[in-house]
A and B are shown apart, each in its own frame.
Chain A
Amino acid sequence: KAGVTQTPRYLIKTRGQQVTLSCSPISGHRSVSWYQQTPGQGLQFLFEYFSETQRNKGNFPGRFSGRQFSNSRSEMNVSTLELGDSALYLCASSFEPFHSGALNTGELFFGEGSRLTVL
């Protein structure tokens, strides 16, 4: 079956602009989570959506937002871009949402990522 698809793969923006990234999960997966990856910080959790509801949120400012549609596709938006927002943005899908303290956590299937450069 098709993997997780992210678009666009690469984009360049300037400070102050906003950007929208898209993620289509694996068919049948209803959980989509987003991550920011930078060389110094590694994978930082942004938020998770399940059945169109945001279930978990990381420690990012309100400029970072997201949503999920009824077909499980998800978008994330970053407004008023800053230079520090330059990063690889990865989305991942899983069959079940994250449950804190659960013994079994479903594996994440990652997309190829959207590489954002802010000038």
Chain B
Amino acid sequence: GQQVMQIPQYQHVQEGEDFTTYCNSSTTLSNIQWYKQRPGGHPVFLIQLVKSGEVKKQKRLTFQFGEAKKNSSLHITATQTTDVGTYVCRGNTDKLIFGTGTRLQVFP
């Protein structure tokens, strides 16, 4: 069946290091959204990507949508302790599918 695989499952980084999480779909996505869930919190919308090859930036966060619209990445430059949380992608095919999430831990 359709899946959105997200890797890695966990990532521990030292503050100041970069971080990247990837979402890979078995089918073409019409769009992809990214959410952040802080520990003990609920998912909060970050961004939506629609176009093939699209790149969007939010301060230290860079989001990319693959040319084939089957994969996407979220890159954080110079992580801070406030970046701690789980980053989840949500892909639109004929269903709404969430990735399993990447839990980011940042050590000061």
Contact = CB atoms under 8 A, between A and B. Distances in A.
B93 interface: yes
Interface stretch (A69-77, A78-86, A110-118): A110-118
A9 B35 CA distance: 21
Contacts of A101: 30, 92-94
Nearest to A91: B42
User: Main SS of the interface on chain B?
Assistant: strand
B98 A45 contact: yes
B59 interface: no
Nearest to B94: A100
A105 B33 contact: yes
Contact of A42 (B30, B44, B98): B98
Nearest to B43: A110
Given A43-B43, A100-B93, A102-B30, 17 more contacts: A33-B96, A42-B98, A42-B99, A45-B97, A56-B95, A56-B96, A92-B43, A98-B92, A100-B30, A100-B94, A100-B95, A102-B31, A104-B48, A108-B45, A108-B90, A110-B43, A112-B41
